[in-house]
Amino acid sequence: MESPFKSTKGLRHVWSALHYSLDGLRAAYRNEDAFRQEVWIALIAVPVALWLGDSALERALMIGSVLLVMVVELLNSAIEAVVDRVSLERHPLSKRAKDIGSAAVFMALLNAAVVWALLLLG
């Protein structure tokens, strides 16, 4: 059985998916302080990576680590939104889901710091 929400196919599906993605990015930027901060950091870090990276691989690793932080932040924000949609009551499983999402963001930030440090100092 297919979802009734997946009615488009082909290029029309790609076009719809693009619009949904842009809606998601706009919603995250408007409603999530951490994502907004990461966007501004990325706007600085990406040109710095292009300037400081000695090779295409180094630049790709530096930029990729920054983008990974943003991807994980989007997923964390989605998890938090779903948990809050289900219930605003305090529940151990809600806390666990939010804490694990937060831990994922922390790991992505740690990864970015290690990548940048190794490439710039090593």
* Angle (deg, nearest 10), helices 33-52 and 56-86: 170
- To the query of whether residue 73 is one of the catalytic residues in this protein, the response is yes
List, as residue ranges, the binding site for substrate: 34-38, 59, 73, 102
Among 72, 73, 74, 119, the one annotated catalytic: 73
| Dihedral angle, C-alpha 94, 96, 98, 100, nearest 10 ° | -160
Question: Cα–Cα distance between 115 and 18 in angstroms, integer?
Answer: 30
What is d(CA 20, CA 88) in angstroms, rounded to the nearest whole number? Answer: 26
| Binding-site residue positions for ATP | 20, 32, 80, 89-91, 98-99
Annotated binding site for a divalent metal cation: 32, 80
Catalytic residue list = 73
